[in-house]
Amino acid sequence: MLFGRALALVVMASSLVACAEEEEPKTLQPDEPDEIETEVREHCSDFAARLCTSAASCCQSTAGSFSSERCTSSFVEEFCVPASQVVAAGLATYHPDAHEPCLSAWERAHATCEADWDEIIAIRKDVWAECKMIRGTVEPGRGCSTQASCARPDGPTNARCQLDVTMNTTCQLLEILGEGAACPFPMGDVSVCDVGLYCTTTERDMPGTCAPSVPEGGPCDPEVPANSECGLGSYCGLDDALCHRATNFGGGSCEQDAECISFECQGSSTGGTCLGALSTAQDLCERGA
């Protein structure tokens, strides 16, 4: 599997944590919430309610039943509460002026609902640039225990608190990389090359460089394993050795993961089937199911 179905979700879920953190910081447990913690929690709770409401139509069309109330409750408990504690502890600052731009960015994403790779990149840039309500103070490469404490520069960038190549938990930037930039193999929660570019590496543990991808209809080498020279969102045809745009949002037939918008072709004795693409509201849909 080149990229994996879960990676399409990373684009969305990792952006949601701009408001908070997945795990409650175990060292930040005051007996009584202080004024800052209370204020941040209240504002974030309002944000959560509006965010879940904006996702309702997309979730209902792709996942069926959806409760905005359940979605909101889950978001507040898992994101707003720990985020408010991080701010109260002085590990991050709170910026309420970012609420409206962030909600507008997510409304645009939810209106798209089912996005191909080029649309996902555009959504990622939009959401990452606007959703900076909680801004951490821990610089990239420094140790961390909570994502909300990680610093995120202005512009279309995000940050994660996760294991690095040395197996230490550090703050790591997520970016849309330009031509010539060093890039990791496109698997997991990593930075990726911009539209029109591809990462030259074919090895998970070996960095590559963002280089111009082969345009649609151009020649490519189908014999190279994990060849992404056509760019993410496109694939090298096994029969004609030409680059093609991925257009399969689920179902139909496929021979390789890259043919699917979900990046996952589920094989069978009668031919592969693309798993359905994850919606831009997938994380919220699961919370409100």
> For tokens 């911009």, what's the residue?
194
Angle subtended by helix axes 5-16 and 117-130, to nearest 10:
20
pTM score, two decimals?
0.85
Q: Please state the φ and ψ torsions of residue 108, each to the nearest 5 degrees.
A: -65, -40
Instruction: Name the pairing type of β-strands 169-177 and 192-193.
Output: parallel
Q: What is the CA radius of gyration of the chain?
A: 20
- Residue ranges of the domains in the chain? 5-177
Q: Annotate 173-201 with b (16+ C-beta within 10 A) or e (fewer).
A: bbbbbeeebebbbbeeebbbbbbebbbeb
Could you give the angle at which helices 99-112 and 35-63 cross, rounded to 10 degrees?
10
Q: What is the pLDDT along the chain (289 residues), one digit of tens a residue?
A: 444 443 444 444 445 544 443 333 434 444 555 888 999 999 999 999 999 999 999 999 998 889 999 999 999 998 898 889 989 999 999 999 999 999 999 999 999 999 999 999 999 999 999 999 999 999 999 998 888 889 999 999 999 998 887 888 999 999 999 999 999 998 888 999 999 999 999 888 889 999 999 999 999 999 987 779 999 999 999 999 999 999 999 988 899 999 999 999 998 767 799 999 999 999 999 999 9
**pLDDT, position 21:** 39
